[in-house]
Amino acid sequence: MNNEIIAQIAKELKIKNTQIEAVLSMLEEGSTVPFIARYRKERTGGLDEEQIRVIQEQYEYQVNLAKRKEEVLARIETLGRLTEDIVKQVNECTKLVQVEEIYRPYKQKKKTRASIAIENGLQPLADFLLTLPKYFKDDVFTSYINDKVTSEEEVISQAKDIIAEKVSNDSKIRDKVYDSMMNYGRIHTTLKKDAQDEKNTYEKYYDYSEKVTTLANHRIMAIDRAENEKVVSVKVEFDEEYLLNWVVRRMIRFPNSPVAPYVQEAIEDGLKRLLYPSVERMIRSELSEKAQNGSIEVFSMNLEKLLLQPPLKEKTILGFDPAFRTGCKLAVIDASGKKLCVDVIYPHQPNAKVRESKIKLVKLVKDYKVDVIAIGNGTASRESEAFVAQTIQENNLNVKYTIVNEAGASVYSASKLAIEEFPDLHVEQRSAISIARRLSDPLSELIKIDPQSIGVGQYQHDVPTAKLKERLDFVVEKAVNLVGVNVNTASVSLLKNVAGLTNTTAANIVKYREENGKIMSRAEIKKVPKIGPKAFEQAAGFLRIEDGRELLDRTSIHPESYPVAKLILKALLLDKKDMGTQKAKEAIAGCDRNVLEKEVGCDKYTLNDILDSIGQPLRDYRDQNDAPVLRSDVLELEDLHVGDELEGTVRNVVDFGAFVDIGLHEDGLVHISKMSKGRIHHPSDLVSVGDVIKVFVYKIDKEKQKVQLSLLPC
């Protein structure tokens, strides 16, 4: 371990060196992030999954950064061009992109104008000009003429090329230019002459200017995309005259020198041709990286909230996959997610078999005692919502409906996994089942879909795929392990995300169940092929046995802590059968945890976690989140008035606000400016995907059929 890097990370995260050392040590031993966060709190000081992830990523980044610095310095040294200034400049870098920018002039395959001039023997002349002599001999330039440099003008020009590159590589000048561009510059975009933007998607950026320091991530992403699609040109505007004068004053101490004009020309060339473009590239790269990281964080935050939506337990659900021409696909599932039936109706144009469709829907609801109808939010969603609401009202049905995010449902429906699960069904029928299951158990269903196909982000297609996938995979793993998994009902898709398990061991668990029947204890999991001691240690606490021989197997208590758990139960005068009862809750509330900690001989973190499990052995982490809004009638734009108070579900959170489903055809936008009287950093400070919130109608656009909302009373 690198103690210097550890100290640096500890300072940034404001935690102790020992906490970081403990995390890195356990990761090196093969422990997973969820396991460390849940079952090794005594070693980490209670660090959560996000903190552990940051430690892991930052340490790896800093190690790679230090290694790259050594490589760059070594390569520049082999070129014979390493100076103390370059060493200082490289060592002060905090990002890889900064190191690469310094190294860039030295790794060019083609020669630079300055390197050619140096090969032609003009370095001494450039050094002489920089001394700014008061006079010089008449032959000072002609003496450098040779078979490669054949005129006095060429001699002067090449000497200036060397000075220009020196200006570009000067660390203090680079820092000054960077500071000026970053802190005082403006990003300016202009429409290209031959630009093609038929839908005027980027109209805002046809002629747009904003300070670099205030440019929001979503605008950076939009500008980058518009530039990549060759719609706009982008440049950083800054005070070039000020910088030129600053550099001239720094380098030309004797302005009356007869060679001062040459040096000034070289300075201007070095700034405009080399340094300005170089620093501008660096700043644009940093802005893009910041925006991409922000986009990844927004996506991952939204995905986590979506995965952790509470399941609608003990309900029979009808999944309703809307469509126009091909008809609306229906699927009824029971409380366990098992398919009961599939069907199709044609309530919309061009078929418009409305009466027949209503009769069929009513029959399904009554025959299967459907509790909730889950309507996908894709094409024909709101028309289907109106149809369902009307059918409920006309037939006085005792059923509610809700709109479900169906992003990625079609991807799953055509996947190998879906085909294996429902080989006799069409793609659309599988999609209806998926929509129903997303309401019944969001985590178990959404886990089957590539996270990038779930539309809860912004500009996710413009970020590095590998980086996005890595972050989203972490979110999925975190969510699965926060909730825990029923080892006897979980799919391979769900099991493979449990800490310590792989696709192979997850498949082996399912195969073991099929061949041997239900797994009756956590200890029995050790019999599954390829689950060794380490895999069992990592996974056991997250795998639940609902009706097994050992009652503690139902809880999140790790098997390694069973002896301590039994001592705690004994000290509280409880039996395992008392877990979750009022008696257990009263005993926990009345105990002295400090005394109990010493009595049973465990740390405070383990004690508190065990007490929580004894009090609520079957607690579902997701139950703390808002349940979906269930409706029985539809809302029309004509029903709304400015100032109306409504209840809605947050469907997506982005940098500039949140989109809220209030039952209209389109989700309403709550702009960040309408979220709080005070300043907030990001909409996620106040709302999350899945939240059920109160909103007020701020503005109604009947022409565009859109509504703007506010969290503040209008």
- Give the span between the Cα atoms of 424 and 342, in whole angstroms: 11
Asked if the bond preceding 350 is cis, omega within 30° of 0, the reply is: yes
Residue type, 314: E
CB 369 within 8 A of CB 318: no
- Burial, 606: exposed, middle or buried (Cβ in 10 Å; 0-12, 13-18, 19+)? buried
pLDDT tens digits for 285-313? 999 999 999 999 999 999 999 999 999 99
Element at 25 (helix H, strand E):
helix 17-28
- So what CATH class is 637-710? mainly beta
CB 168 within 8 A of CB 105: yes
| Alpha-carbon separation of residue 80 from 71, 352, 585 (angstroms) | 15, 80, 74
The pLDDT assigned to 283 comes to 94
pLDDT tens digits for 10-61? 998 999 999 999 999 999 999 999 999 999 999 999 999 999 999 999 999 9
- For the domain spanning 78-294, the CATH number is 1.10.3500.10
SS3 labels along 114-169: HHHHHHCCCHHHHHHHHCCCCCCCCCCCHHHCCCCCCCHHHHHHHHHHHHHHHHHH
Pairing status of strand 645-654 against strand 657-661: antiparallel
The pLDDT assigned to 209 comes to 97
- Give the span between the Cα atoms of 185 and 644, in whole angstroms: 43
- Give the span between the Cα atoms of 62 and 68, in whole angstroms: 10
pLDDT tens digits for 655-703? 999 999 988 878 899 999 999 999 899 999 999 999 999 999 999 998 8
Pairing status of strand 328-333 against strand 339-345: antiparallel
The pLDDT assigned to 231 comes to 96
- Give the span between the Cα atoms of 474 and 251, in whole angstroms: 52
Q: Does domain 3-75 bear CATH number 1.10.10.650? A: yes
Give start-end residues of each CATH 1.10.150.310 domain in the chain: 480-623
> Nearest to residue 685, comparing CAs of 241, 297, 134?
297
Q: What is the CA radius of gyration of the chain?
A: 33
CB 552 within 8 A of CB 588: no
> Nearest to residue 99, comparing CAs of 347, 262, 223, 285?
285
| pLDDT less than 50: residues of the chain | none
In 3-state terms, what secondary structure has residue 642? coil
Residue whose token pair is 């996974």:
539
Phi and psi at 388, nearest 5°, equal -65, -45
Residue type, 550: E
Residue type, 100: E
CATH among 3.40.50.720, 3.30.420.140, 1.20.140.10, 1.10.340.30 for 317-456: 3.30.420.140
The pLDDT assigned to 109 comes to 64
Residue 581, C-beta contacts closer than 8 angstroms, at least 6 positions apart: none
In 3-state terms, what secondary structure has residue 494? helix
Give start-end residues of each CATH 2.40.50.140 domain in the chain: 637-710
CB 90 within 8 A of CB 69: yes
- Give the span between the Cα atoms of 19 and 37, in whole angstroms: 12
Residue whose token pair is 């709304």:
640
CB 104 within 8 A of CB 278: yes
CB atoms under 10 Å from CB of 353, counted, come to: 14
- Give the span between the Cα atoms of 569 and 65, in whole angstroms: 51
CB 247 within 8 A of CB 173: yes
- CA 424, 426, 427, 431 torsion: positive or negative? negative
Tokens of 639: 């029903």
> Nearest to residue 620, comparing CAs of 513, 546, 509, 524?
546
Give start-end residues of each CATH 3.30.420.140 domain in the chain: 317-456
In 3-state terms, what secondary structure has residue 485? strand
Element at 345 (helix H, strand E):
strand 339-345
The fold adopted by the segment(s) 480-623 is DNA polymerase; domain 1 (1.10.150)
| Alpha-carbon separation of residue 690 from 141, 304, 485 (angstroms) | 75, 10, 22
- Give the span between the Cα atoms of 234 and 280, in whole angstroms: 10
Element at 372 (helix H, strand E):
strand 372-376
